[in-house]
A = this chain, B = another copy of it.
Amino acid sequence: MIEKLDRRQKYTRKVLKESFIKRMQEKPLSAITIKEVCESADINRSTFYSHYKDIYDLAFQIEDNIIEDISATLSAYNYSKNEEALQMTEKLLEYIAENRDSCQTLFSEHGDPRFQKKVMMLAHTHLLKTLEVENTNVPYNSEYLSLYIANGSIHVVQHWLKSGMKESPKEIAELITKLAKRGLSSFSDTPPMFSI
């Protein structure tokens, strides 16, 4: 069921969301009050409550738009095909680069950890699929492997965003893919050892 929104409602939600993101550039979610978001958006506080349950509900709805976009990007690729993993990662990073403003804020230290967790779980689930399809001989519970890779990767992206995106999406995508596949040995001269 798709909501049909009045122009006024569209405007209200738009400015509330913008005001919220602006606040989040300065302080963490838990320190942001409904009152200040409304004041800076010039929207009556009563109106806020006819759109959102509380401040977390507003945050949730902002985050969800991005989650949906990311999910769509992930679904567009076939994971059983190994070559597409790199392409997909690159595509994802390009999306983030395009939506620099909101992504940078949501992934920052002020960002909602639940959001970051959601993105991570999305990546995690997709990774699990790949691992199970292409690698049936994984000894440990793939759960651990996938969590490791998803979280490592997300923090690389986080650092990339934080430090001003000096590298291209392609470069970061390659770095992430290499680390997942061969870890540190990707970057050393010596051939990888077969036992530690």
Contacts and interface: CB of A to CB of B under 8 A. Distances in A.
Interface residues of A, number: 47
A102 interface: no
A179 B184 CA distance: 9
Q: What number of copies of this chain does the assembly contain?
A: 2
Interface in A16-53: 29-30
Nearest to A114: B109
A145 B113 contact: no
A196 B177 contact: yes
A117 interface: yes
Interface of A: 29-30, 86, 109, 113, 117, 120, 131, 135, 137-140, 143-145, 147-156, 159-160, 174-189, 192-193, 196
